Amino acid sequence: MFKIDSITLNDKETFVIAEGGLNHNGDVNIGKKLIDAAKKSGANAIKFQTYKTENFVRETNQYFNVFKNAELTFDEFKELKDYAKSAELTFFSTPFDIESAEFLYELDVPCFKIASSDLTNLPLISRIAKMQKPMIISSGLATLKEIEDAVNCCLFEGNNQIALLHCVANYPTQPNEVNMNVLNTLKKTFDFPIGYSDNGESSLVDIVAVSMGANIIEKHFTLDKNMSGPDHGFSIDPDGLKSLISQIREIDQMKGDGIKIPQSSEIENRLAIRKSITAKRDLQQGEKIQEKDIMIKRPADGIEPKYLPSILGKTIKADIKKDSPIFWSNIS
């Protein structure tokens, strides 16, 4: 059973994560506004990225300053965690290094997210798996074998609280490269909740993912797509997220429980819409029923059509008027 806070992931309601990522721009107050907006939009959780830039990016790397400029201190993350708790919104984060993972564990986050970039970073995955908290693992850049290696790493540490997210690590991901049938591959290969981590602008792909059985949707989230920063442009804004979640909840209702039985609204229609065996002419007591004597008509208040072979040759016990249903009590 995969559980985040008090929510058990299942096929009835999609768990929607507002991926705040770096969209706080290194400003804890923007982070708080993202929390407020995510809560108001109906998200189940807000997620950020926790790191010390020097621990995971070389100083000569072209992205070093990008990450450094958006870096929050551990104290600021604690402030955000407390703020999210007061807003009654689940808060967790993606650690990019072991020090950050240790900090988040001490912060008592309800689960961990493993970024696509760290799917093959088995030392980090192993350390987090030992913490025995639920782990949501993104699979951008990965082959199925690499996903299996990451999963086995968690299982080796005795942690089977795993959810797997299909993901394409291109920013923004184009709809024609989504390859959403990977969801089916993940469902067939692994006995874990599955979902989609979206790095694109289109909301249609998220709707398709939910329709195909995704238990989790993670969507990059910003206060304003025009804000300065690497991820804002392809992130969804509060109005967009609210609209998307509304559609996801409709799909959740449509999915149902998968048990094929008549719906309550269908019960009263079964009699009116279905058909039964009906007298084609006036039938007299003592006659033998022949196929030429009957028709199949609405409503279904007489003998069901599937019993037609069984009543042929039976004797009429009492007169039956034309266009009247034939009941088992009418024949012998």
Q: Where are the domains of the chain?
A: 11-255, 264-330
Rg for the chain, CA atoms, rounded = 29
The CATH topology of domain 11-255 is TIM Barrel (3.20.20)
DSSP state of 257: -
Place of tokens 């993104």: 138
- pLDDT bin (cut points 50, 70, 90) of residue 1 is confident
- pLDDT bin (cut points 50, 70, 90) of residue 113 is very high
| Residue spans of alpha helices (H) in the chain | 28-41, 53-56, 64-69, 74-86, 98-106, 122-129, 144-156, 182-189, 204-211, 238-255, 264-273, 308-311
203-246 pLDDT, tens digit per residue, is: 999 999 999 999 999 999 999 999 999 999 999 999 999 999 99
Rounded to two decimals, the pTM is 0.91
The CATH topology of domain 264-330 is Type Iii Antifreeze Protein Isoform Hplc 12 (3.90.1210)
User: Is the predicted pLDDT of residue 42 greater than 90, yes or no?
Assistant: yes
Helices (H) and strands (E) in the chain, counts: 12, 12
